[in-house]
Amino acid sequence: MSTWSQGTVRVDRSLTELAGGGYVFGPPKSTAGKRMVVVPAVIRPALSQHLATFTASQPDALVFTSSTGVLLRDGNFRRRVWRPALAKAGLSGTHFHDLRHTGNTLAATAGASLRELMDRMGHSSPRAALIYLHGSDARQRAIADGLNRLVESELQGQVRKRSSGDVEHDRARGGHAGKDRLRDAEG
């Protein structure tokens, strides 16, 4: 269900395939599963077109259905849609559920906190959210670069006043001389 005018999608139920066949709607696995998710602006035009073209007009209509407007069956979707899309994109070995992992990792890269990731994914525990979170070499480089900027900024900004009122940079004294003088002056 969506509140599309605000660019959000509301998740308030889940669909479970029954072992003997058929499907049943029910609540999400946890209370946290009921949530509102803001869709990135770059995705909204494509999703708006999809909603206008393929989704019924009822407020509780399913967003994604088969070509005949009924529930997507996992096997049919994989065979008719997912595998051809992967082949066209030159990808292999990617599972549909991998998109959930990718989305969570991208949200973290964009700056989402663990709490925000949990809310977005509908998880009630940090452990569940962390299962979907993956590191990357690019992110490791970005973290190292960020740490470098912090340290350089701190080193450049460490200015201490000597008891005589002169200004001294700790870095010029090997990092500890200014602290020793400050301790002596307080002592």
DSSP string, 82-145: IHHHHHHHT--S--TTHHHHHHHHHHHHTT--HHHHHHHHT-SSHHHHHHT----HHHHHHHHH
**What is this structure's pTM?**
0.67
3-class SS of residue 68? coil
| Residue 50 dihedral angles phi and psi, to the nearest 5° | -60, -45
Q: What is the mean pLDDT of the chain?
A: 82
State the average pLDDT over residues 71-97: 90
Q: What pLDDT was estimated at residue 162? A: 37
pLDDT score recorded for residue 63:
87
- Type of residue at 1: M
Confidence check: pLDDT of 171 > 50: no
Q: For 17-37, how does the pLDDT look when each residue is reduced to its tens digit (9 = 90+)?
A: 888 888 899 999 889 999 999
